């Protein structure tokens, strides 16, 4: 195969992938003021996420306000510069998927630009949804990895969200023909009124609005956001809540992981009737019940010597899981 053609195909795929991610992007806004509370117009504001090579720059308006309207989810650092003032930095600004974050006031002290004042973002302040009236909750990547998930079906975690009522068991609903999202309702709405998206694209079977077209490996997800009420018009297709899944991406560092989840009948308690009849010694063993889940993932920058150097701009991420099930 022609190497040049392969590189072109790879870059084209990356471009279209970026366009899809834009549908689940968020925004960061704030106000720049001096130490006396006066507004600072025309200040230079930069935002960066070095791990994913994201960097943007804008200027404050006449009211000292700045807005970055299209940012992928991640952890950012804000930098504000203005002649006659010390450079100000606000680190650890966490932007969840499809969220609007207001970092509040950034104060500039009089001094030289060579001096820098660094402030760590306050998590409590950033959790206040002052930029919209939506009610929503986010399941972070750490929660997705650490919370016990029977059946490895991400939809089961929806029942941990306030206002979500589980109406059925979905632990094994991992096929494309099962009503994978039809087992719960949000704030009393019907179970067929949800929206279910992956990186901003609907993955519901629109014929019944409950069957998912694909099942998602939880370890390949970065965040899950559940919008329960008062969300923006861009989510207007569904009145019964929106479940927005965001996949993980590579970073400037190579990272990989492997995992194995095991469920075996030898670890289960025997049934009362089997014990009453003498158990395994009398020929009444525990019911056969075995699940094996294998998985791995790997991601990083795309680097092809003398052809492509993707650091800070082009990344890949691969994840795979396999389930083996034996049950009576």
C-alpha 56/C-alpha 224 separation (Å) is 25
Residue 140 in contact with residue 157, Cβ under 8 Å?
no
pLDDT tier for residue 58 given thresholds of 50, 70 and 90: very high
Nearest one of 141, 282, 304, 295 to 225, comparing CA atoms: 141
Supply the pLDDT for residue 182. Answer: 64
Asked if the model's pLDDT at residue 261 lies above 70, the reply is yes
Q: Tell me, what's the pLDDT at 174?
A: 42
pTM passes above 0.75: no
Q: Work out the pLDDT band at 57, boundaries 50, 70, 90.
A: very high
- Asked if pLDDT for residue 7 goes beyond 60, the answer is no
Determine which of 119-123, 237-241, 267-271 has the lowest per-residue pLDDT on average.
Answer: 119-123
Distance from C-alpha of 295 to C-alpha of 259, rounded to nearest angstrom: 5
Quote the tokens at residue 220. 């390949």
Quote the DSSP letter at residue 123: H
Tell me the average pLDDT of the chain: 79
**Which pair of tokens denotes residue 232?**
């923006």
CA 251/CA 220 separation, integer angstroms: 14
Q: Report domain extents, the chain.
A: 23-126, 135-247, 255-327
pLDDT value of position 172: 43
Compute CA distances 307 → 210, 310, 313, whole Å.
Answer: 45, 10, 14
Give the residues across from 110 on adjacent strands. 85
Per-residue pLDDT at 130 exceeds 70: no
- DSSP 8-state code for residue 233: G
Determine the average pLDDT of the residues in 276-299: 86
Are 270 and 222 within 8 A, CB to CB?
no
Q: Strands, DSSP E only, in the chain?
A: 26-34, 44-49, 54-59, 65-71, 74-81, 87-95, 100-108, 116-120, 135-139, 164-166, 184-186, 195-198, 201-202, 221-229, 242-247, 255-263, 289-301, 303-304, 308-309, 315-327
Which is higher by pLDDT, 326 or 178? 326
Q: What is the pLDDT of residue 173?
A: 42
pLDDT attached to residue 121: 61
Q: Kindly report the CATH number that applies to the domain delimited by 23-126.
A: 2.60.40.10
Q: Give the pLDDT mean for 110-128.
A: 66
Nearest one of 314, 300, 326 to 10, comparing CA atoms: 314
pLDDT at 19 over 50: no
- Vertex 141: Cα angle to 138 and 142 (nearest 5): 105
The whole-angstrom separation of Cα 37 and Cα 33 is 6
Report the candidate in 322, 320, 316 with the shortest Cα–Cα distance to residue 291: 322
* Nearest CA among 198, 196, 136, 190 for reference residue 165: 190
Half-sphere exposure of 269 (CA within 13 A, CB side): 3
Query: What is the model's pLDDT at position 23?
Result: 55
Domain spanning 135-247, CATH class? mainly beta
Confidence of residue 275 (pLDDT cuts 50, 70, 90): confident
């Amino acid at each position: 195969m022609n190497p040049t053609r392969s590189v072109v195909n790879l870059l084209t795929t990356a471009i279209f992938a970026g366009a899809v991610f834009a549908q689940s992007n968020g925004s960061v806004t704030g106000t720049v003021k001096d130490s006396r509370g006066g507004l600072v117009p025309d200040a230079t504001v930069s935002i960066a996420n070095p791990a994913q090579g994201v960097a943007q720059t804008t200027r404050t308006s006449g009211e000292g306000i700045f807005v970055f309207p299209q940012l992928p989810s991640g952890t950012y650092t804000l930098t504000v510069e203005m002649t006659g003032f010390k450079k100000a930095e606000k680190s650890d600004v966490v932007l969840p998927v499809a969220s609007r974050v207001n970092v509040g006031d950034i104060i500039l002290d009089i001094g030289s630009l060579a001096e820098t004042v660094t402030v760590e973002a306050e998590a409590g302040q950033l959790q206040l949804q002052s930029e919209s009236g939506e009610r929503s909750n986010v399941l972070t990547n750490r929660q997705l990895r650490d919370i016990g998930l029977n059946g490895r079906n991400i939809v089961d975690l929806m029942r941990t969200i306030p206002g979500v009522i589980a109406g059925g068991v979905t632990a094994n609903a991992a096929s494309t023909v099962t009503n994978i999202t039809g087992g719960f309702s949000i704030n009393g709405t019907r179970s067929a009124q949800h929206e279910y998206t992956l990186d901003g694209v609907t993955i519901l079977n629109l014929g019944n609005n409950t069957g998912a077209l694909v099942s998602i490996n939880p370890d390949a997800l970065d965040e899950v956001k559940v919008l329960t009420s008062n969300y923006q018009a861009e989510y207007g297709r569904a009145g019964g809540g929106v479940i927005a899944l965001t996949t993980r991406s590579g970073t400037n560092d190579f990272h990989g992981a492997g995992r194995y989840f095991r469920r075996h009948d030898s670890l289960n308690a025997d049934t009362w009737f089997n014990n009453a009849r003498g158990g395994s010694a009398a020929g009444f063993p525990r019911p056969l019940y075995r699940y094996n889940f294998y998985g791995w993932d790997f991601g990083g920058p795309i680097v092809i010597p003398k052809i492509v150097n993707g650091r800070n701009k082009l990344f890949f991420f691969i994840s795979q899981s396999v389930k083996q099930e034996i049950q009576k």
